[in-house]
Amino acid sequence: MPIAPRFRVATATAAARVRCDDHVAVARREDGVVLALADGAGNDERGGALARWIVDELVARATAAKNLPSADTLAKWCEELDVEWFGREAAGESTVVVASVDGARVWGASAGDSGAWLVHSGSYVELTGEQRRRPLVGQGRATVMAFGPVQFQGVLMLATDGLLKYAPEQKIQHLATDANVSVAAAKLVDVARTASGGLHDDVAVIVCRRAD
């Protein structure tokens, strides 16, 4: 029986103001991990509530699933959650990025302007490059785009636009590859800070690499 892959995973979030509306969650399974990240839109606590609900629901489904969920399954789950939230007549909008990693490959789904990068050998691949920025999840009509599978090399990073929009790509690449994933996640948040130490926007990041 094959040995389940082991991963080092770290997460970090930081608020630009009093409340952080960016949320992350991780499901650790025997056959891999599922990483979920969402950014509540509009500096609105209703968007933040939706973002938290999305990542919690995705991780709950991933934990309960018989197999590590495929890209198509992850996209379907995101679309189902989009419709369910809207059906409650609940306000709020959010991005979403969710990824499955089995040790050899990574795949996932996304909507909005949060992103997933695979950083390796001084360069990166933007796994979410084909995603649709609008409409966001929460309006009952989001277009969720699946990605992968692609070979898992180096470091997988999921991040909201509070990092991707405000930090230089080269610095993100360099910091993401720190051997200590907790250090990498913390430094990635810090690189988005202004000279005064503040943030332009909330930041959330997940860093994942193989333990071997």
CA distance 40 to 3: 37
List all residues 6 or more positions away from 108 whose beta carbon is below 8 Å from its beta carbon: 35, 71, 74, 97, 98, 99, 100, 116, 127, 128, 146, 147, 148
Reduced to 3 states, what is the DSSP secondary structure of residue 58?
Answer: helix
Convert the pLDDT of each residue in 8-28 to its tens digit: 999 999 999 989 999 999 999
* Cβ neighbours, 10 Å, residue 212: 8
Q: In this model, does residue 2 exceed pLDDT 50?
A: no
Instruction: Please state, in angstroms and as integers, the Cα–Cα distance from residue 28 to each residue in 9, 49, 57, 59, 121, following that order.
Output: 10, 23, 14, 9, 26
Contacts (Cβ under 8 Å, ≥6 apart) of 61: 69, 77
**Cα–Cα distance between 108 and 106 in angstroms, integer?**
7
Domains and CATH numbers, the chain: 7-210 (3.60.40.10)
What is the spatial distance between Cα 173 and Cα 120, in angstroms, rounded to a whole number?
8
pLDDT digits (tens, 9 = 90+) for 41-92: 977 789 999 999 999 999 999 999 999 999 999 999 999 999 999 998 888 9
Q: Are 112 and 133 in contact (CB under 8 A)?
A: yes
What's the pLDDT tens digit per position in 131-186?
Answer: 988 899 999 999 999 999 999 999 999 999 999 999 999 999 999 999 999 999 99
pLDDT of residue 161: 97
What's the CA gap between 51 and 46, in Å, rounded?
A: 9
Residue 122 is predicted with a pLDDT of 79
**pTM here?**
0.95
Separation CA 131–CA 123 (nearest Å): 20
139, 183 in Cβ contact below 8 A?
no
